[in-house]
Chains A and B, each alone.
Chain A
Amino acid sequence: MNILQFLMSEVLSQPAVLIGLFALIGLLAQKKSAADVVSGSLKATIGFLILGAGAGTLVGALNHFSVIFTEAFNITGVIPNNEAVVSIAQEVLGTETAMIMVFGMLVNILLARFTKFKYIFLTGHHTLFMAAMLSAILVGAGFKGVTLITIGSVILGFVMVLFPAMAQPYMKAITGSDDVALGHFGTTGYVAAALVGKVVGNKEHSTEHMKFPKGLMFLRDTTIATGLTMLVLFLVSVLFAGPTFVESQVSGGQNFIMFAIMQSLVFSGGVYIVLAGVRMIISEIVPAFKGIADKIVPNAKPALDCPVVFPFAPVAVLVGFISSFVAGIVGMFVLSFVGATVIIPGVIPHFFTGAAAGVFGNSTGGRRGAVMGAFANGLIISFLPVLLLPVLGALGYANTTFGDSDFGIIGIIIGNIAKLFL
């Protein structure tokens, strides 16, 4: 009896151990060698612990930023960053997130097997982020235990086929084949971009006939892009807040400019640590998922991360990023004008989703479609997070939130339905 109790309260309640066990089962099912099984299970466990370590680093810098930004502009600003919000979620909702992620993947395989939605969602980090968001919302609404895991996994598995299905008609046009699907929770923005493109433009006037500087490609490097954005945001904020406030209230006497520089780089370092952890986890979980899916779902279509469409229209990628980012800045001013919580545009969500929205817009509306479509995406990811914040429960006060559009859509819908059960 004591053994069972020990298992429940000491082993299975440790999310890192739980993920390690799932990896172990997956590796055994794939009949891997003993060495692979041991190293794979350990890596998944260690990855989860690294994720938590990154959280501490991130959150410190983020909290400083929030205090300074509020003092500087007298409004509350939130920086959408999936890695940051998920790393915070791991600390309080780790077990729920891990269970929902794994069972959600199983629901995905079942739906792909028995319905006409043959999509297998392989973007593991987005699965993890969505699982974290669902557990935050459902726990916030009072669900727990088996009910929580069941509802969470069913919703997760469902959205893992729903969004690829929504994007598929456009994916066919972009890639010229029906073999590959898009598995990225920014799909609402991409479909919106394609629809806008259809209305405003002409697909014959493709962005790919334009000449465009390639100099912005260094932003593909996440660590650098994050560091630079945070540097600009921090510097502007400390200049407006003034040295007296920063040095007496926040930095503990450190020069305010140096404090801004160091904190922005610390934040970027925190994102790097979290990503390293996520990478270790999904490297072990996704192959098992894919292996199982390959065996039991005939004609499955892999749903892949959004950069998969980038090579089909590289100019639209840059046009889309810039246009989406401009929309983010416009959105920021609109939000501060109406007195709402301000969503500070982040380079990462605008780069990845803006770029993909540009490609989608280009596929239906050429140049004009890429510009206007990505602009629509930028507005969507500026306004949805504001509506998402109140339903995120404990995570709503974290100074950061989920960046991509589908998190907003699903979070708002599920959050408001769940409230009815309170």
Chain B
Amino acid sequence: MLKILVVCGNGLGSSFLMEMNIKKVLKEIGAEVEVDHSDLTSAKGYHADIIVGTKDITSQLSGYAKELVELNNILDLEDMREKVVKALEKFENQ
């Protein structure tokens, strides 16, 4: 199963919230994907397929996942849905 990891500085608040929102989107589009959240340090050893985070976070994680999803604003659900769906499509085509 594909693994999405949502990352923020502390791995407690923001990433957890984004994880709940992403799970909602995945349920709506019927995708079976594992989603988890963590802090920056743990993210590097997680081997996720897709890493989601704000720009200041993802800029430090290039190379640690096949696909990076960069969010401008963690509250912008439309933006998140669009970018996550786009990232998932790349894996479908493989």
Contact = CB atoms under 8 A, between A and B. Distances in A.
B39 A222 contact: yes
B75 A180 contact: yes
Contact of A221 (B40, B54, B72): B40
B2 interface: no
Given A175-B75, A272-B41, A217 B56 contact: yes
B13 A220 contact: no
B85 interface: no
Given A218-B60, A221-B60, A305-B17, A310 B41 contact: no
A410 to B, nearest CB: 19
A175 B74 CA distance: 11
B62 interface: no
B68 to A, nearest CB: 15
Interface residues of A, number: 36
Contacts of B56: 214, 217, 220, 310, 314
B46 interface: no
B10 A287 contact: no
Contact of B13 (A223, A276, A304): A304
Contacts of B20: 287, 290
Interface in B1-39: 8-14, 16-17, 20, 37-39
A97 interface: no
A222 B73 CA distance: 21
B11 A307 contact: no
A308 interface: yes
A125 B73 contact: no
Nearest to A283: B16
Nearest to A216: B56
Given A221-B41, A310-B54, A123 B11 contact: no
B17 to A, nearest CB: 6
A109 interface: no
A283 B10 CA distance: 14
A94 interface: no
A6 B37 CA distance: 37
Given A217-B60, A308-B74, A286 B16 contact: yes
Given A272-B41, A290-B20, A307-B10, 7 more contacts: A124-B16, A221-B9, A222-B9, A276-B42, A279-B12, A307-B9, A308-B17
